[in-house]
């Protein structure tokens, strides 16, 4: 079965179905951090090209790119701190994500 629990394989081509499976990777109860969790798991598992496709599916599904974690930070805040997060940050920004107010504090 493909999905969020399958380990990342470098260079593997992902189908749209597999990329979309991460839409359901949030908290099981659909709680307040569900959108953030889905984005985080996709970021952790996907290549930047697949993550960019995922953000399109995410937005089309009416999900919140600016969802925050318990510290008030969104995924753009997080990936912007990572040395290899530049392409992921660009994908988020292109899809409409904005840095959170907590990022400036």
- Angstrom distance (rounded) from CA 103 to CA 72: 8
* Residue ranges of E strands in 14-63: none
How confident is residue 32, by pLDDT bands cut at 50, 70 and 90?
A: confident
Summarised one tens digit per residue, pLDDT across range 47-101 is 999 999 999 999 999 999 999 999 999 999 999 999 999 999 999 999 999 998 7
For residue 68, which phi and psi values (nearest 5 degrees)? Answer: -115, 160
Residue 9: is its pLDDT beyond 70? no
């Amino acid at each position: 079965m493909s999905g969020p629990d399958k380990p990342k394989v470098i260079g593997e081509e992902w189908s749209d179905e597999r990329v979309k499976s991460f839409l359901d990777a949030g908290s099981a109860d659909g709680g307040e951090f569900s959108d953030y969790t889905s984005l985080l798991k996709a970021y952790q598992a996907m290549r930047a090209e697949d993550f960019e496709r995922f953000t399109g599916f995410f937005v089309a599904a009416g999900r919140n790119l600016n969802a925050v974690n318990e510290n008030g930070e969104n995924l753009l805040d997080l990936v912007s701190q990572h040395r290899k997060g530049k392409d992921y940050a660009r994908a988020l920004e292109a899809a409409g994500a904005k840095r959170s107010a907590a990022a400036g504090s």
